[in-house]
Structure 1
């Protein structure tokens, strides 16, 4: 499935805060790259400000946050606020990790996209990003 951008989909993958477990983020970054997307991996210990600034500089279509630390109710709302402040309203914020269902519902209500639990197939993540970009970034 191709997108309507006439260029590869650009995704920034980040680990925010003190969460030092980056294997999953690296696997996802590689899978997205293998699916033809352009991936910017920011590495460990990023702040929400660093993530949003990198997304602006790299002109990304989507931001993917990998979080296992339990700080999702702090990290995602802060990133959404910064994205709105910087005019990144047409960029997908998605992610995954250990996030309880109740918190997923609250984060989605704030504007966060799909949040993926451990065990989600890479194809599901790739297809979600492709479909979202095709529907929302066709300019």
Structure 2
């Protein structure tokens, strides 16, 4: 017998923040999430941290995936985390980061509340499995 949680659609937002214009990976993960049965919202390019926070809160997402390749992760991601906290959404949102984020910067992002960081070469299946296993229950 199946439960409601097995059929619950996970709402995900894939966000491109800052001046990073490389969005191929964001499109690939957004498509893979849709194919996995998740509801997906794509932010579009060049969003300010506050724009990402506003959209995530308004759309009541379960998962916020931040795609960043510009090297500004150490500045932009903490601003997003602070914004989520300000709106009381930090505890209810699984935040992921993807892109080129050096190993030495990952611990600080995780301390800020990023649950997982997926770099180049991570399999789509690993990312989807992580979301399914860790998305908050609503």
Does residue 78 in structure 1 map to residue 67 in structure 2?
Answer: no
Corresponding position of 1:93: 95
Q: SS of the residue aligned with 2:97?
A: strand
Q: Deviations over 1:41-95 (max 9, x none)?
A: 0110001111111111111001001100000001111011000000102101101
Corresponding position of 1:119: 121
| Residues matched between the structures, number | 136
Corresponding position of 1:138: 137
Q: SS of the residue aligned with 1:94?
A: strand
Q: Deviations over 1:10-53 (max 9, x none)?
A: 00001001100000000000000000000000110001111111
Q: How does 1:51-66 map to 2 (within 5 A)?
A: 51-66=52-67
Structure 1 consecutive aligned stretches of length 4 or more whose deviation exceeds 2 Å:
2-7
RMSD: 1.7
Shift of 1:4: 2.2
TM-score scaled by length of structure 2: 0.93
Shift of 1:3: 7.3
Q: SS of the residue aligned with 1:74?
A: helix
Shift of 1:138: 2.1
Distance change in 2, residues 1:57/1:46 (3 Å): same
TM-score scaled by length of structure 1: 0.92
CA distance in 2, matches of 1:18, 1:76: 13
